[in-house]
Amino acid sequence: MPEGDSVFRLRRRLDAATRGARIADGELRSGNAAGRSLAGLGIRSHDTHGKHLLTRFDDGSTLHTHLRMQGSWTITRAGRALPTAVREKARVRFRLDDGREVWGLDLPVVDLVPTAREVDVVGFLGPDPLRDDWDAAEAVRRLSVHPSRPFVAALLDQSLIAGLGNLWVNELAFLRGIHPFAPIGATDLDALVELAARCLRVSATVPGMYQVTTGNARKGASHWVAGRAGRPCLRCGTRVRVRDEVANDPEQRRTWWCPRCQPMPEGPDVGGSG
């Protein structure tokens, strides 16, 4: 699933390519405004909150989309057609006044809302390290409300801190030296939030560092534990373990950790290590 840094990079590409452009024709093909024509609208800007993309038009409306596991955006040059099989996945289409076409493909979330009411679709989200209104203290406060909640479950909860997905949650657990299913309160939350914000910002903005957590962008060496089940830990050589993510997780995510570098802390309120 794309994470906050992925969507932030997408937003920058879309903003550079379409900001200030006018839509010659186009429509929404799903969501609460399916069938609505977009012809004549000007694109004011694109913004993000966590994994959510907000495209603002000059009529005071905002297109809210979310990629989840399968969605994507693409822009075709003037006169170039997408393959029929790809066009059939389009949920958003608009042709710009210079002939280029913008396609939102296989998007599971497509909402058109008044810009003044964006809170209706993203208001539940927690602070986002990639936004100008980032509030680290508020993120720490929200994470501290239920200190016994498992580390992975707490950080994946977008209402506590927005933008962290499975990859970053696993890598942050390793970097903090904590078992991913240990209570979130077993780690220093101020240090965790500061690290999470720094990692997301580097990944989102530094060329060549997209989702590189080890400092080594070479294939197979860019992550400490994510995707490395059964392989030796890059720090100590212990075999990396893996198990299913939070119980009943609809995304069926997996969690990786090094049992030596990330021991389960001892204590009466700590469960088994899995």
Share of the chain above pLDDT 90, in %: 89
Q: How far apart are the first and last CA of the chain?
A: 24
Which of these is catalytic: 51, 56, 93, 100? 51
Q: Are 189 and 144 in contact (CB under 8 A)?
A: yes
* 51 given a catalytic annotation: yes
Give the model's pLDDT for residue 38. 97
**220 Rama class: left (phi>0) / alpha (psi -120 to 50) / beta:** left
User: Which residue, 32, 18, 170, 16, is CA-closest to 102?
Assistant: 18
**What is the DSSP secondary-structure string of 237-249?**
-PBPEEEE-STT-
pLDDT digits (tens, 9 = 90+) for 131-158: 999 999 999 999 999 999 999 999 999 9
- Identity of the residue numbered 156: L
- Identity of the residue numbered 266: E
Which of these is catalytic: 3, 101, 171, 245? 3
* 253 given a catalytic annotation: yes
pLDDT digits (tens, 9 = 90+) for 157-204: 999 999 999 999 999 999 999 999 999 999 999 999 999 999 999 999
Q: Are 195 and 176 in contact (CB under 8 A)?
A: yes
Which of these is catalytic: 9, 36, 68, 253? 253
Residue 84 banded pLDDT, cuts 50, 70, 90: very high
pLDDT digits (tens, 9 = 90+) for 49-63: 999 999 999 999 999
* 2 given a catalytic annotation: yes
Give the model's pLDDT for residue 76. 96
Quick one: average pLDDT of 223-238?
96
Packing angle, helices 136-144 and 189-205, rounded to 10: 130
